Chains A and B, each alone.
Chain A
Amino acid sequence: MGPEATIFVVVVVYFAVVLGIGAAAFRRSKPTAEDYFLGGRVAKSLVMFMALFGTNITPFLIMGISGLAYHHGYGVFGYTAAMAALIIPVAYYVIGYPAWIASRKLKAVTPAELLARRLDSPNLGRLLFLVYFVYMLPYLSTGVAGVGLAVDVFTQQAISFEIAAAGILVITLLYTTTGGMRATMWTNVFQGLVFGVFLYVSIFVVAADFGGIPAIMKEVARRFPELAYTKNTAPFTPGNWFVWGMAMGLVVLAFPHLLVRVFAAKDVKSLKNSIRYYPIIMIGLMLVATLYGVWGRIEFPDFVGRDSDMVFPMVIRSHFGPMVQGLALAGILAAVMSTLDAQMLTLSSMLTRDVWYGLSQRRQVVLGRLFLVVLGGIAYYIVILRPASIFALAQLSFSGFVTLTPIWLLGLHWRRFTAPAAITAIIAGNAVLVAMFYEWLPNPGLIPVAWSFMASSIVGVGVSFFTSPPPEDVTEPVMGPIRRAMGDG
């Protein structure tokens, strides 16, 4: 059997296992919206952890971070990963935990539904769906583009970028539309294990081929001394360093597909356990991705610009046989599918719960499935355009999501916060973000997300003082338990 055929067989076997897991989950599911979108709210610690882990591992991590490290060196680890080890758990405590309580009190299935009910404003739910939809598309496209690049490298163009992208979308749609959240969480356990184990083991194999970790580090220092230290110049200025670190931590729960997984937790212990060891394992993977990028420079020193996104699959191809290459490709597919499924499912649930609601539970599920097919089509169209590098696309998307963070903080911790304030804050934050990206506004020094975050916060607080808060009978059933949970009541 030739190398391409071996890779193909490994990937097909992998897909068969994933679809089998999806089918098993489908047999266990009930025809209710809560079961389809939240897996019946019974996720325990391990499933929660793997669901978060699998959902959070993306081509941005594997190929985007390694691609950036290829150009900027080890400093990328501190810039884009380290802060998340602390801020993600803190965000779980100050946003995830109260949101979990509120979702149960309000019987909310989606993030948009939760805030719309908390602030008694259906229009806020519709606006949130729109914003989530707009910023999710570039993020979706990074995943599918990552698969296209990986398949392109591993099969040496035997399977084209377009066919690979279409393939990953179809497979994901098949098991997501049938099994719902239960299927995505079960497959995440499997996919997270495949990917995590592969990455941790493979980096040691690559290092061993160079004579060990000290030897390869010394080789990098000798040939590319500029990669061994962090420069003082953009993007590593102190202000940007801090802001991007915060953004990388805050964005995790600003993602609707991750917040909705928090809603699926069975109890507080499951939530806490899922986050307890998450930083060290997750950030370890970011370190591995950084090392792949820097070390890959030794063997492939000529990548320019976004071509460095290919460094990870190129290194794998040069150090492993076809069987392991097939596993690596499966690992990338695992990473993409476990994120894509969650993103698609969450957006479809918001459509049926927050925009086009009032349907029977069975019709909600049918409409959600139809929407997934349409969403897949739009994502495919964006992917074949390939407008920028994986890191650049993800940065745009992440900035948009982080701009929503003040709404969550205010909505979950401040009784005085109002629906008009939330709506104007979302509009103001996004207006500043767009104006900064297109340089319509002068930038006093920090990256755009810092200013959009500030604009959203200031407008959110300011407008609340000039508008009437929701009545006490709307506020208290949610804010009372949250206040007690946070130790203030």
Chain B
Amino acid sequence: MTRRQHRRIFWVLVVVLAALHVDFFNHGISPPPFFGWLPLDLAYHIAWVIAAAALVIYFTRYVWRDYDGS
């Protein structure tokens, strides 16, 4: 894939993740915790952060050029 295509994929994923961050569907409810102890919305945001970190690694490798302006 070209860098331009990587860049498009990256920005689409940024928008998707930003939208998923607003998890209003988790607010105001208290479902049973994962494994009996991990609250659902805490688990959700930990998973979200891991996905975001993976996206950052992707974009520093495929989107961000090593060009220094010279």
Q: CB within 8 Å of B: which residues of A?
A: 74-75, 77-78, 81-83, 85-86, 89-90, 93, 97, 101, 104-105, 213-215, 217-218, 221, 225, 228-232, 236, 238, 241-242, 245-246, 267-269, 272-273, 275-277, 279-280, 283, 287, 481-482, 484-485, 487
Pair A85/B49 contact, Cβ less than 8 Å: yes
Pair A214/B37 contact, Cβ less than 8 Å: yes
Beyond A214-B37, A276-B56, is A225–B49 a contact (Cβ under 8 Å)? no
| Chain B interface helix/strand/loop/mixed | helix
Beyond A74-B41, A232-B28, is A268–B66 a contact (Cβ under 8 Å)? yes
Q: Which A residues lie within 8 Å of B44 (CB)?
A: 78
Pair B4/A86 contact, Cβ less than 8 Å: no
- B4-40 CB mask vs A (1 if < 8 Å, else 0) is 1001000000100110011110111110010111111
Q: Which of B22, B38, B40 contacts A229 (CB 8 A)?
A: B40
| Chain A interface helix/strand/loop/mixed | helix
Q: Which A residues lie within 8 Å of B46 (CB)?
A: 77, 287
Q: Which A residues lie within 8 Å of B48 (CB)?
A: 78, 82, 85
Q: Which A residues lie within 8 Å of B27 (CB)?
A: 75, 229-232, 236, 238
Pair A90/B40 contact, Cβ less than 8 Å: no
Q: Which of A83, A238, A246, A485 contacts B67 (CB 8 A)?
A: A485
Q: Which of A86, A214, A228, A277 has the most CB of B within 10 A?
A: A86
For the complex, give the distance between the alpha carbons of A277 and B63 in Å: 16
How many A-B pairs have beta carbons closer than 8 Å: the answer is 138
Give 14 new A-B contacts, CB below 8 A, not counting A238-B27, A487-B3. Answer: A77-B45, A78-B41, A82-B49, A85-B56, A86-B56, A104-B69, A215-B37, A230-B28, A242-B21, A279-B52, A280-B50, A481-B70, A482-B69, A484-B67
21 pairs, CB–CB < 8 Å, chain A vs chain B: A81-B45, A82-B21, A82-B48, A82-B49, A85-B56, A86-B17, A89-B60, A101-B68, A217-B39, A225-B30, A228-B30, A228-B33, A229-B41, A231-B27, A242-B21, A269-B66, A279-B49, A283-B49, A481-B70, A485-B69, A487-B65
